[in-house]
């Protein structure tokens, strides 16, 4: 594939549908202090498909109140606005992106890996007393660019997948060699267009190459969580390969072995339940 | 038995080179080295590899 034809096909990513307006409003509301829970509940309830999926997720055992949540307003009261925002975001992303038909791309494996990274990132963030909700959402969306490629430019992603399988290299290397760009750069562009905050956009863009920082960041957490999710081999990919880990990011996190083992145990224990609830 | 509270992982930069791993995927229960084949080929130490070995060993104990 030439650089020109690759660029032309990648233009299709611009045609990716927007997230529902309610999610954009929610992202905006989360950064304000005068947010009205009633107004958000009323708006979300108008989108019946989104509200139904959000309630299904809110009722899974992962959130600790299975079967008790019957309305969005109640979900906000029980789970809190930030958790409901995360649930709605999951529901919106999975229903907004057209189902891909890309040879070699497995949607179920994609979501299992993303859910594992989200759970792992949340667990590490809690241990480090960083924002666990942001870490969870960033983890869930870290490979958004790959999903967008599979949906909007399947030939491009298929070429990269073939190269990865032939050379047994990392997916990042295969994408850069065949597309001249990678899923991290493309995913951050989609996330920015979808009005996600800078912490999540940066985590998506930099999750393979965390920059130097004085202390651990959400980017570091998603980078480490991505490595752990690959190492736990949870997605069921026969060609699974653990990508390189940035030692500076690892050392910045500075977790003890005992803390890391608890993170691994928790991630493995929770991934099936959340994937079932999300129906992914 | 691993002391979860007290054992610290060494900084990754302190570890030495590793051997290359076999190219064919082994059975799932014995995949740790194979999963880290990219780091092994580059003769780099991956901080997660030893952690995974201990974790899988703890599971089997």
**Each residue of A16-34: pLDDT tens digit?**
888 888 788 777 776 676 7
Q: How far is B32 from chain A (nearest CA, A)?
A: 8
Number of domain units in chain A: 2
Q: Percentage of chain A surpassing pLDDT 70?
A: 94
A167 and A30 housed in the same domain: no
> Highest mean pLDDT range out of A98-102, A254-258, A268-272?
A254-258
A132 and A200 housed in the same domain: yes
Contact A244 B4 (CB under 8 A): no
Query: Taking chain A, what is the end-to-end CA distance rounded to the nearest angstrom?
Result: 32
The pLDDT assigned to A161 comes to 94
3-state class (DSSP) for residue A105: coil
B10, pLDDT greater than 60 = no
Minimum mean pLDDT range among A42-46, A141-145, A242-246: A42-46
What's the rounded mean pLDDT across residues A103-114? Answer: 92
A151 and A180 housed in the same domain: yes
A83 and A104 housed in the same domain: no
ipTM of the complex: 0.81
Where does a domain end: A45, A79, A96? A96
B36, pLDDT greater than 90 = yes
Backbone angles phi, psi at B58, to 5 degrees: -65, -40
pLDDT band at A3 (very low <50, low <70, confident <90, very high): low
B11, pLDDT greater than 70 = no
For residue B45, give both structure tokens.
Answer: 């130490």
The pLDDT assigned to B17 comes to 43
Which of B28, B36, B51 is nearest residue A257 as measured by Cβ atoms? Answer: B51
Where does a domain end: A96, A117, A134? A96
B51, pLDDT greater than 80 = yes
Q: Percentage of chain A surpassing pLDDT 90?
A: 54
* Residue of A171, A220, A245, A246 to mutate for B, most B C-beta atoms under 10 A: A245
Q: Rounded distance, CA B37 to CA B14, Å? A: 20
B47, pLDDT greater than 70 = yes
The pLDDT assigned to A6 comes to 63
Contact residues, chain B, for A169 at CB < 8 Å: 38
The pLDDT assigned to A33 comes to 67
A146 and A214 housed in the same domain: yes
What residue has token string 């298929």? A158
Q: Rounded distance, CA A32 to CA A30, Å? A: 6
Which of B28, B44, B54 is nearest residue A233 as measured by Cβ atoms? Answer: B28
pLDDT band at B2 (very low <50, low <70, confident <90, very high): very low
A266 and A144 housed in the same domain: yes
Among the listed residues A108, A93, A182, the one whose alpha carbon sits nearest the alpha carbon of residue A140: A93
The pLDDT assigned to A4 comes to 59
3-state secondary structure A71-97: CHHHHHHHHCHHHHHHHHHHHHHHHHC
For residue A207, with 0-12 CB atoms within 10 Å meaning exposed, 13-18 middle and 19 or more buried, which class applies? Answer: buried
For residue B3, with 0-12 CB atoms within 10 Å meaning exposed, 13-18 middle and 19 or more buried, which class applies? Answer: exposed
The pLDDT assigned to A50 comes to 79
Q: Rounded distance, CA A76 to CA A15, Å? A: 33
**Each residue of A61-94: pLDDT tens digit?**
777 776 778 888 888 877 777 777 877 887 788 7
Contact A242 B39 (CB under 8 A): yes
* Region of residue A176 (phi > 0: left; psi between -120 and 50: alpha; otherwise: beta): alpha
A145 and A227 housed in the same domain: yes
Directed axis angle between helix A37-46 and helix A48-58, to 10°? 110
A91 and A146 housed in the same domain: no
Q: How far is B28 from chain A (nearest CA, A)?
A: 9
CATH number at residue A207: 1.10.3210.10
Contact residues, chain B, for A238 at CB < 8 Å: 25
Helix (H) or strand (E) holding A273: helix A257-278
**What radius of gyration, in Å, describes the C-alpha atoms of chain A?**
18
CA distances from A122 to A270, B8, B11, B18 (A): 12, 21, 23, 31
Q: Name the residue with higher pLDDT: A265 or A73.
A: A265
Chain B residue with minimal CA distance to A253?
B11
For residue B10, give both structure tokens.
Answer: 């060494």
**Each residue of A140-192: pLDDT tens digit?**
999 999 999 999 999 999 999 999 999 999 999 999 999 999 999 999 999 99
B53 contacts chain A (CB < 8 A): no
A172 contacts chain B (CB < 8 A): no
From start to end of chain A, where are the E strands?
none
Q: Which residues of A103-131 are buried (b: 16+ CB within 10 A; e: fewer)?
A: eebebeebbbbbbbbbbbbbbbbebbebb
A107 contacts chain B (CB < 8 A): no
Contact residues, chain B, for A260 at CB < 8 Å: 9, 51
Contact B12 A247 (CB under 8 A): yes
3-state DSSP: chain B helix, strand, coil percent, rounded to 5? Answer: 50, 0, 50
Chain A residue with minimal CA distance to B50?
A257
Which of A168, A247, A261 is nearest residue B47 as measured by Cβ atoms? Answer: A247
What's the rounded mean pLDDT across residues A227-240? Answer: 94
The pLDDT assigned to A35 comes to 72
What's the rounded mean pLDDT across residues A228-233? Answer: 97
For residue A234, give both structure tokens.
Answer: 């949870």
A205 and A231 housed in the same domain: yes
Q: Rounded distance, CA A109 to CA A158, Å? A: 15
What's the rounded mean pLDDT across residues A87-110? Answer: 85
Average pLDDT of chain A to the nearest whole number: 88
3-state class (DSSP) for residue A256: strand
Does the pTM surpass 0.90? The reply is: no
**Each residue of A189-203: pLDDT tens digit?**
999 988 888 999 999
The pLDDT assigned to B27 comes to 67
A80 and A119 housed in the same domain: no
A168 and A206 housed in the same domain: yes
The pLDDT assigned to A45 comes to 82
Where does a domain end: A56, A73, A96? A96
Other beta carbons within 10 angstroms of residue A28's beta carbon come to 12
Other beta carbons within 10 angstroms of residue A158's beta carbon come to 18
B18, pLDDT greater than 70 = no
A251 and A123 housed in the same domain: yes
Range of the domain at A119: 3-14+100-278
């Amino acid at each position: 594939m030439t650089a020109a034809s690759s660029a032309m096909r990648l233009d299709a990513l611009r045609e990716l549908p927007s997230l529902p307006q309610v999610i954009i409003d929610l992202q905006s509301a989360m950064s304000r202090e005068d947010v009205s829970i009633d107004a958000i509940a009323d708006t979300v309830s108008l989108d019946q498909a989104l509200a139904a999926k959000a309630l299904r997720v809110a009722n899974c055992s992962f959130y600790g109140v299975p079967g008790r949540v019957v309305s969005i307003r109640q979900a906000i009261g029980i789970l809190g606005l930030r958790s409901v925002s995360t649930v709605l975001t999951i529901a919106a992303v999975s229903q907004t992106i057209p189902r891909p038909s890309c040879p070699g791309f497995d949607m179920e494996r994609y979501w299992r890996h993303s859910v594992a990274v989200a759970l792992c990132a949340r667990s590490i963030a809690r241990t480090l007393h960083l924002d666990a909700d942001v870490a969870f959402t960033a983890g869930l969306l870290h490979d958004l660019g790959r999903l967008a490629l599979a949906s909007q430019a399947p030939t491009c992603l298929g070429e990269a997948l073939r190269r990865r399988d032939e050379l047994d290299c990392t997916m990042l290397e295969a994408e850069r060699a065949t597309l001249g760009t990678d899923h991290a750069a493309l995913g951050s562009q989609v996330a920015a267009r979808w009005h996600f905050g800078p912490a999540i956009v940066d985590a998506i863009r930099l999750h393979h190459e965390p920059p130097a920082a004085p202390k651990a960041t959400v980017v570091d957490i998603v980078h480490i969580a991505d490595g752990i999710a690959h190492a736990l081999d949870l997605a069921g990919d026969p060609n699974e390969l653990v990508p390189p880990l940035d030692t500076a990011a690892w050392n910045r996190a500075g977790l003890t072995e005992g803390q890391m083992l608890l993170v691994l145990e928790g991630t493995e224990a929770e991934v099936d339940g959340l994937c079932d609830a999300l129906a992914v | 038995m691993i002391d979860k509270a007290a054992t610290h992982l060494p900084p990754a930069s302190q570890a030495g080179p590793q051997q290359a791993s076999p190219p064919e995927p082994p059975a799932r229960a014995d995949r740790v080295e194979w999963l880290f084949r990219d780091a092994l080929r580059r003769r780099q130490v991956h901080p997660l590899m030893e952690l995974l070995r201990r974790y899988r060993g703890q599971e089997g104990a």
